[in-house]
A = this chain, B = another copy of it.
Amino acid sequence: MDFGFDETTEAYRERMLAFMDECVYPAEREFHDQAAAGGWSPPPLLGDLKAEARARGLWNLFLPGERGAGLTNLQYAPLAEIMGRSPDIAPPATNCAAPDTGNMEVLDRFGSERQRADYLGPLLNGEIRSAFAMTEPDVASSDATNIATSIRRDGGDYVINGRKWFVTGAMNPGCAVFVVMGNTDPEAEPHRRQSMVLVPRGVPGLTVRRGMRVFGYDDAGHGGHAEMVFEDVRVPVANLIGEEGGGFAIAQARLGPGRVHHCMRLIGMAERAVEMMCRRALTRTAFGTTIAEQGVVRDWIAESRVRVEQLRLLVLKTAWLMDTVGNRGARTEIQAIKIAVPAGVEWILDKAIQVHGAAGLSQDFPLAAMWAGARSLRFADGPDEVHRRSLARRELRRHLPAQPG
* Contact surface of A with B, Cβ cutoff 8 Å: 1-6, 9, 74, 135, 137, 139-143, 146, 165-166, 212-218, 274-275, 278-279, 281-287, 291-292, 294-299, 301-303, 305-306, 309-311, 313-314, 316-317, 320-321, 324, 332-333, 336, 339-340, 354, 357-359, 361-364, 368-369, 371-372, 375-376, 378-379, 383-389, 391-393, 395-396, 398-401
Residues on B with beta carbons closer than 8 Å to the beta carbon of A398: 278
CB of B298 within 8 A of CB of A392, answer yes
Chain B residue at smallest Cβ distance from A276: B399
Residues on B with beta carbons closer than 8 Å to the beta carbon of A333: 309
Given A2-B2, A295-B298, A362–B212 Cβ distance below 8 Å? yes
Residues on B with beta carbons closer than 8 Å to the beta carbon of A336: 305-306, 309
Given A143-B287, A340-B310, A378-B354, A278–B1 Cβ distance below 8 Å? no
CB of B310 within 8 A of CB of A372, answer no
CB of A165 within 8 A of CB of B358, answer yes
Residues on B with beta carbons closer than 8 Å to the beta carbon of A309: 314, 317, 333, 336
Chain B residue at smallest Cβ distance from A344: B310
Partner of A357, one of B302, B339, B369, B379: B379
CB of A1 within 8 A of CB of B320, answer yes
Residues on B with beta carbons closer than 8 Å to the beta carbon of A371: 215
CA distance A296 to B284 in the complex (A): 20
CB distance from A205 to the nearest CB of B (A): 24
CB distance from A304 to the nearest CB of B (A): 8
CA distance A75 to B334 in the complex (A): 26
CA distance A2 to B5 in the complex (A): 9
CB of A391 within 8 A of CB of B302, answer yes
Query: How many identical subunits does the complex contain?
Result: 4
Partner of A379, one of B143, B361, B400: B361
CA distance A361 to B284 in the complex (A): 33
Residues on B with beta carbons closer than 8 Å to the beta carbon of A294: 295, 385
Residues on B with beta carbons closer than 8 Å to the beta carbon of A354: 378-379, 383-385
Residues on B with beta carbons closer than 8 Å to the beta carbon of A401: 279, 282-283
CB of B165 within 8 A of CB of A296, answer no
CB of B321 within 8 A of CB of A369, answer no
Partner of A278, one of B313, B386, B396: B396
Given A286-B143, A292-B396, A362–B213 Cβ distance below 8 Å? yes
Residues on B with beta carbons closer than 8 Å to the beta carbon of A281: 396
CB of A286 within 8 A of CB of B146, answer yes
CB of A361 within 8 A of CB of B388, answer no
Q: A274-B395, A278-B395, A301-B396 are in contact. List 14 more A-B contacts (CB 8 A).
A: A143-B286, A143-B287, A166-B358, A213-B363, A215-B371, A281-B396, A296-B299, A299-B389, A305-B391, A309-B333, A313-B317, A354-B378, A357-B379, A361-B375
Residues on B with beta carbons closer than 8 Å to the beta carbon of A302: 339, 387-389, 391-392, 395
CB distance from A170 to the nearest CB of B (A): 14
CA distance A357 to B382 in the complex (A): 8
Residues on B with beta carbons closer than 8 Å to the beta carbon of A292: 396
Chain B residue at smallest Cβ distance from A360: B379
CB of A140 within 8 A of CB of B278, answer no
Residues on B with beta carbons closer than 8 Å to the beta carbon of A321: 3
